[in-house]
Amino acid sequence: MPQLPSFIQMYRDLVAIPSVSCLDPSWDTSNKEVIEKLAGWLESLGFQIDVHELDRQPGKYNLLAHYVPDGMTQGGLLLAGHTDTVPWDEGRWTHDPFKLREENGRLYGLGTADMKGFFAFVIEALRRIDLRTLKKPLYILATADEETTMAGARELDAFGHLKPDFAIIGEPTSMTPVIMHKGHLTESVRVTGKSGHSSNPAAGINAIEVMHDVITQLRSVQNDFRKRYQDDSFEVPYPTLNFGAIHGGDAANRICACCELHLDMRPLPGMNIDELYGVIDERLIEVKAKYPGAICLEHMHEPIPGYRCDPESEIVQLAQGLTGNPPEPANYCTEAPFVQALGCQTIIMGPGNIAQAHQPDEFIQIDEIAPAQSQLRDLIRSVCL
C-alpha cells in the first residue's frame, strides 16, 4: 500500500499531471495518470476501486472508489468531481501552470480551484476517519471530460447499481451549496444554397439570404422564450438563445453557396429538451418548405439538461447548516443533472472560487483550506457515521 502523502503534496501531484480536455485534439490529454494517482491514495484508505474506460472516449477514465459497510447495498454519500481541466492560455500564466506555487496566501496552478484539488480535500478529510466505523456507504467519483462533452458523467451506468442518498459535486463554489443551473445546448444550422455569378441572382440560391430568414425565425424564438417561460431564481429568468458564430461565402461577386451558424441555448431546469427542439423545428417549417433540403440542423454535442435540487431537501439543509451559506443558483453548467439521475439529492459545493476557474494564474485561497476541510469532514460524518 502506498503511504498517503501530505495534503499539500497531493495537491502538488494532482496539479503536476496534465489532464486537459479539449475538443482540439492537439490539446486533449488522457486523464489516466490522475485516475491512477487517486486510485492509489483511495486504496490506501481502504476503498475498493472500479475504473471504467469511457465508451464515448477511449483513453479517458472514470473512477469510483467505494466503501460499503457489510449488509448495505445502497444509500450514503457520493463525493464527485472531474479530473480534467481546460487548456491554459500560453503566455498569460506568469508561472508554469503545472507547478503548484504558494504566494500571497494563495496556491496557484491549473486545477487548483476547478477542480482537481477537491480530491486532495476529500482525501485529507478522510485521513482522520476510520472507514470501518462508517454506517453508510461512501463513494468518491472522479470523472473525465467534464470540460468538453461531459462524456464521463454520461457513463455512470457502467458502475452498476449506484444509488447514494446524497451527492456533492465539489466544483468551486466557495463552499456555498449551489442547487440549480440552466442546461446547455450547442447547435449548428447549415444552409447549402447554390453558387452562381452575382450578376444574376436567379442563377443560384443565396445561402446568406436563406440564413437571414432562418435568423428572423430564431429571433422570434428568443422572444417566445422570454414571454413563455419564467423562473425568477435566475438573474436571467428565461431560457436564452445566443447567436455565437456565423460563416458564409467567399467573394462579393459570387452567390453565396454555404452559410453556417452556431448557436447556444440555455434551457431552464425542468424544461423538456425535446419540446424546445420542437419549438425551433416548428418555427422553421415555412422557410424549410421554401428551400427544400437547404437547411440542416445538427447538435454540436449531446444536450446538458438543466438541474435543480429542492431547497428544502435534507442535503441542502445539512450543507447550509454546516457552512452557514444559504443555497444559490449558478450561471454555469455542471455534471449535477447526470449525478442527480442516479436518484440522489444532489448539490454542488466545493472549495475555491468559480471566478478563478478557466483563468490564467488560477488559484485557491490558503485561508479557505482549513475551514473547507473541516466542513467536508463534518459532512461525511453527518451522513455516514
13 vs 362, beta carbon nearer Zn ion: 362
Quickly count: other Cβ atoms within 10 Å of residue 275's Cβ.
9
**Nearest Cα to Cα of residue 240 among 326, 306, 164:** 306
Instruction: Taking the CA atoms of 39, 43, 45 and 50 in sequence, report the sign of the dihedral they define.
Output: positive
Q: Catalytic: which of 28, 124, 146, 361?
A: 146
Q: Shortest approach of Zn ion to residue 338 CB, angstroms?
A: 14
Is 157 among the catalytic positions? no
Q: Which of the following is catalytic: 13, 28, 84, 335?
A: 84
Nearer to Zn ion by C-beta: 115 or 162? 115
Q: Which class for 194: exposed (0-12), middle (13-18), buried (19 or more C-beta within 10 A)?
A: middle
- Residue of 359, 348, 358 lying closest to 175 (CA atoms): 348
Q: Which CB sits closer to Zn ion, 114 or 145?
A: 114
Total residues contacting Zn ion (rule CB under 5 A)?
3
| 257 part of the interface to Zn ion, by CB under 5 A | no
Q: Which is nearer to Zn ion, 115 or 276 (CB)?
A: 115
C-alpha angle 332-318-374 in degrees, rounded to nearest 5: 85
Q: Which is nearer to Zn ion, 21 or 195 (CB)?
A: 21
Q: What is the dihedral of CA 62, 67, 71, 76, to 10 degrees?
A: -80
Residues whose CB is less than 8 angstroms from the CB of residue 295 and which lie 6 or more positions away in sequence, other chains included: 189, 190, 191, 210, 214, 284, 287, 288
- β-pairing verdict for 101-103 and 166-169: unpaired
**Exposure on the CB side of residue 98, measured as CA atoms within 13 A:** 10
Minimum distance of Zn ion from residue 142's CB (angstroms): 12
Give, as ranges, the residues between 144 and 203 that touch Zn ion (CB under 5 A): 171
**Known catalytic residue: 155?**
no
Instruction: Provide the minimum distance between the beta carbon of 263 and Zn ion in the complex, in angstroms, as a whole number.
Output: 23
With respect to Zn ion, which residue has the nearer C-beta, 250 or 302? 302
Nearest distance, CB of residue 113 and Zn ion, angstroms? 8
Tell me the per-residue interface mask from 322 to 361 with Zn ion, x by CB under 5 A, - otherwise: ----------------------------------------
* Helices vs. strands in the chain: H and E counts, helices first: 8, 16
Using DSSP's 3-state secondary structure scheme, residue 63 falls into strand
Cα–Cα separations (whole angstroms), residue 146 to 210, 256, 338, 384: 36, 37, 11, 27
Is the preceding omega at residue 115 within 30 degrees of 0, hence cis? yes
Closest CB 167 distance from Zn ion, rounded Å = 15
> Which triple of cell numbers denotes residue 88?
491554459
How far is it, in rounded angstroms, from Cα 261 to Cα 243?
7
- Provide the 8-state DSSP code for 358: T
Query: Do the beta carbons of residue 200 and residue 215 sit within 8 Å?
Result: no
Instruction: Give, as ranges, the residues between 111 and 150 that touch Zn ion (CB under 5 A).
Output: 114-115
Query: Smallest gap, in angstroms, from Cβ of residue 144 to Zn ion?
Result: 12
Smaller CB separation from Zn ion, 28 or 114? 114
Stretch that binds Zn ion, among 56-64, 110-118, 179-187, 314-322 (CB under 5 A): 110-118
Q: Which residues are near Zn ion by CB under 5 A?
A: 114-115, 171
Give the residue numbers annotated as catalytic, written as ranges. 84, 146
